[in-house]
Structure 1
Amino acid sequence: MPAYHLTTFGCQMNEHDSERMKGMLESLGYREATSRDQADLILFNTCSIREKADDRFIAHLQEARALKRRSPDTVIGVGGCWAQSVKHEVFTRFPYVDVAFGPGQVHKLAEFLTSDSLTAQGYFAFEGFTGDLPAKRAREFQAWVQISVGCNMSCSYCIVPSTRGREVSRDPAVLIAEIEALAADGVSEVTLLGQNVNSYGRDLAPERRLSFSELLTAVDHVSGIERIRYTSPHPKDMREDVILAHAELSAVCEHIHLPLQSGSSAVLKRMRRTYTRERYLDRVALIREHVPDCALTTDIIVGFPGETDADFRETLEVVEEVGYDGAFTFIYSPRRETEAAAMGEQVPHEVKVARMEQLVEVVQRRAQERAQRFVGRTLEVLIEGHSRTDPSRLRGRSRHNKVVNFDGLGSPGETVPVTITGASSQTLTGQMSLVARAGRS
């Protein structure tokens, strides 16, 4: 059997796409290799959201080139957003690459591999869903479900619309059938994926259209699905019906990832985020009203062009006020063909770094404070495996999306009650409870 090795960079959508690539390759008779030097096909699923992701990928690609020099029949493939973003130059810059394809063309990889002549090919049209392909899941009990592709927003710093195209929603009947099949296959937790999940369905014909909250309701009704997560929503579309779904639907988890990006309305306007600081905080207040114990996480960019000390202080104020359970924080880096890259008033790197250090301190302090509310409580924890730092303990995740390391017995995929005994900004620790079943907390 020919062997493949796949390296994934970037977001959950890329992880989902990679599972589909693996499933497709194994349906063609390939097996997964444990290292690149054992592979006949070396694949990369790339990200281009930040410059650091580009740099990391190029270093890996250079290693693949060296392996191809030793074994000229090795096929090198590059997929994902980076490939889409450099589609006009990928083969001239990297002549040792055999096949390149964008996120909407994953299925073309199979066509390339089964063709009579493996001459260099590029596939970059926006078509098809990877969700329609077979998958090889990382865990049998958890699954990504792609509900839409593309994005209709025009954030001035982001290249996603140019790499994944306009927003297209999958047919709800197809989605529910997929989730029913997953449940029948032992999946108990699904994560719904889209660049802007809560604008789902608006492009569908009226007779097939469901809103995102209606889709959540339909998934909640699928027997066997115990947990529903989703990423990522946009604050402008975080409406009350979606928030109420967290309060009223038993499978929808008590966690919302609500990207902030900046706490300054002036910066948000330059980012073209289409909401203000006040609108964002109004959404947070509505979440706290209907789901008081909801865990809130976010994304924040520091050093966006024109960001002043006053703008940055406003971001810190929002972080203090909201008290996030966690945050992904990023130093702004210009991306090709974006409006922000051409803006004046680029913030000096040393200023960005200093602001990042301040931001991380506040995020972690507030997350640590928020985490204390779990100490003494018993939470339902879905076991994912052994603790990464202590193999004698188990690791799982609560409905709040908090990692829990605990003492006890169980197997991956089981949901067990764990009494929380300690909490840091990122993880909880505990002891498996002797009670028959944890109450929802």
Structure 2
Amino acid sequence: MTEPRKLHIKSYGCQMNVYDAQRMVDTLAPEGFVETSRVDDADLVILNTCHIREKASEKVYSELGRLRVAKDAAALTGRQMNIVVAGCVAQAEGNEIIRRAPVVDVVVGPQSYHHLPQLLAQAKAGGRALETEFPILDKFGFLPPPKPAAIRARGISSFVTVQEGCDKFCTFCVVPYTRGSEVSRPVAKIIDDVKRLADNGVREITLIGQNVNGYHGDGPDGRPWALGTLLTRLAEIPGIVRLRYSTSHPRDVEDTLIEAHRDVPAVMPYVHLPVQSGSDRILGLMNRKHTAKDYLEVIERFRGARQDIAFTSDFIVGFPGESEQDFAATLALVTQIGYASAYSFKYSPRPGTPAADLRETVSATVMDERLVRLQQLIDNQQSAFNAAMIGSTVDVLFERAARNPGQIVGRTPWLQPAHVMASDAIIGQVLPVTMTSLERYSLLGNLTKPSLSTPSIAALPSVPSHTTGA
């Protein structure tokens, strides 16, 4: 019997990269690869890279330096280790990686990972392989998916890609250049994926895409379906009890999506809706195509559909030309909305993007100071949101055993970890939990007797708009 080859994959960045990493593992499984958590044991190491974060390419080269040592050590024992750089840094800087890093055998962009077996064969034959061109898509404008058997469940929750690419061209963002134009998968293919996952024990699906609410896949009726229509259909699949989606653009929130939040219990009341800045002037420089007022109106449309809906967002601090007045507008927006959580980052230029040429930069000292103030405000809001859960009875989808013996951990509708003392027989079930305390970001509670009902959505906690902290 042939000894399985071991694969170690390290994924950086967004949920799409996590999903792509899983699909790469699935693609390579028929080639005899099994995952390992140890680099030193691996016959194949894949760095699945992200170009969004600061100094992304430098981090890749630093990691490749460490992998060179591991590859040399493997060679001394007579074992060949292949190294692949995949993802958005590979797409943007493929030729440079080949030039600077002889240790790399294969460079593959995010549109081409399904060709990994062929690329590895090419490298084994004596040539280094590079594939970063945008491929010829199928008749639906999307990459051919892996064979059905390659789609495997990984626990109670799973990602499913429905859309890829972005046409918004925000001036700070590389996604249109590394992921290409917006394309959407046909509804029938998504339904097949979700059914297969449900049959394998998945209970929660998160639909993902660079601009997921720009989804416009061909429906079985011959017409393009919007994201809200797709969510409504997926909620009908037996076994699927929760649906989420990420990441959305404020300009593409259609009425069908609002209606799905209002009418479909499986659609969770938790929306990641990046705004980036509260200043209209900065939003214009970012080419975000919305104003702060537009964003607030979208928030109110969601809240009009569900009173318990909560929001997360992304913010960039120190975008070129950001004044103290502009930053104050961001703090005011955050204070007005009240987020359950949010991500905030210092601006860093991405080569090839229009913002990289802007000269009116903000000093590192000022960016650091502003980031601290913003994160303090966001942290205070998140703490208030979590603390407001104490005393409430909330439905929790249980996912796995926790670190502490006898504890099972699950997620609330708002993605908060919730721990209870119970048998692992509850994994995969949605059960009401009365929250008793909070430890950092995790809730602790007790299973509630089935005869007790959960509160109405009007009674569930929200972040007060007067939260302060800046």
Q: TM-score, normalised by structure 1?
A: 0.94
Name the residue aligned to 2:89: 82
Q: RMSD of aligned C-alpha atoms?
A: 2.2
Residue range with higher mean Cα deviation, 428-437 or 76-85: 428-437
The separation in 2 between residues aligned to 1:95 and 1:195, in whole angstroms, is 32
Q: Following superposition of structure 1 onto structure 2, how do residues 32-431 of structure 1 map, counting pairs within 5 Å? A: 32-72=35-75, 73-115=80-122, 117-127=125-135, 129=143, 131-132=145-146, 135=150, 139-201=154-216, 207-387=222-402, 390-411=404-425, 412-423=427-438, 426-431=441-446
Query: Residue 51 of structure 2 aligns to a residue in which SS?
Result: coil
The separation in 2 between residues aligned to 1:376 and 1:51, in whole angstroms, is 41
Report the AA paired with residue 108 of structure 2.
Answer: F
Give the direction of change, closer, same or farther, for the CA distance of 1:368–1:266 in structure 2 (3 Å limit).
same
Is the CA contact (8 Å cut-off) linking 1:137 and 1:143 kept in structure 2?
no
Aligned length: 440
The separation in 1 between residues aligned to 2:325 and 2:103, in whole angstroms, is 49
The separation in 1 between residues aligned to 2:440 and 2:257, in whole angstroms, is 27
In the TM superposition, what is the alpha-carbon distance from 1:53 to its structure 2 partner?
A: 3.8
Give the direction of change, closer, same or farther, for the CA distance of 1:304–1:137 in structure 2 (3 Å limit).
farther
The separation in 2 between residues aligned to 1:352 and 1:240, in whole angstroms, is 37
The separation in 2 between residues aligned to 1:78 and 1:88, in whole angstroms, is 12
Give the direction of change, closer, same or farther, for the CA distance of 1:387–1:321 in structure 2 (3 Å limit).
farther
The separation in 2 between residues aligned to 1:366 and 1:189, in whole angstroms, is 27
Query: Residue 127 of structure 2 aligns to a residue in which SS?
Result: coil
Report the AA paired with residue 428 of structure 1.
Answer: L
Query: What is the CA deviation profile of residues 197-242 of structure 1, one whole-angstrom value per residue up to 9, with x for unaligned ones?
Result: 1111178999241111111111111111110000011001113321
Give the direction of change, closer, same or farther, for the CA distance of 1:215–1:300 in structure 2 (3 Å limit).
same
Give the direction of change, closer, same or farther, for the CA distance of 1:223–1:177 in structure 2 (3 Å limit).
same
The separation in 1 between residues aligned to 2:8 and 2:133, in whole angstroms, is 25
Is the CA contact (8 Å cut-off) linking 1:198 and 1:233 kept in structure 2?
yes
The separation in 2 between residues aligned to 1:123 and 1:160, in whole angstroms, is 18
Is the CA contact (8 Å cut-off) linking 2:406 and 2:422 kept in structure 1?
no
Query: Residue 51 of structure 1 aligns to a residue in which SS?
Result: coil
Gaps of 5+ in 1: none
The separation in 2 between residues aligned to 1:55 and 1:177, in whole angstroms, is 40
Is the CA contact (8 Å cut-off) linking 2:433 and 2:448 kept in structure 1?
yes
Query: Residue 13 of structure 2 aligns to a residue in which SS?
Result: coil
Query: What is the CA deviation profile of residues 72-99 of structure 1, one whole-angstrom value per residue up to 9, with x for unaligned ones?
Result: 4211111000100102211101111000
Query: Residue 107 of structure 1 aligns to a residue in which SS?
Result: helix
The separation in 2 between residues aligned to 1:436 and 1:138, in whole angstroms, is 32
Q: TM-score, normalised by structure 2?
A: 0.88
Query: Residue 449 of structure 2 aligns to a residue in which SS?
Result: coil
Identity of paired residues, percent?
36
Residue range with higher mean Cα deviation, 98-107 or 140-149: 140-149
Gaps of 5+ in 2: 136-141, 458-470
Residue range with higher mean Cα deviation, 216-225 or 400-409: 400-409
In the TM superposition, what is the alpha-carbon distance from 1:438 to its structure 2 partner?
A: 5.7
In the TM superposition, what is the alpha-carbon distance from 1:111 to its structure 2 partner?
A: 1.1
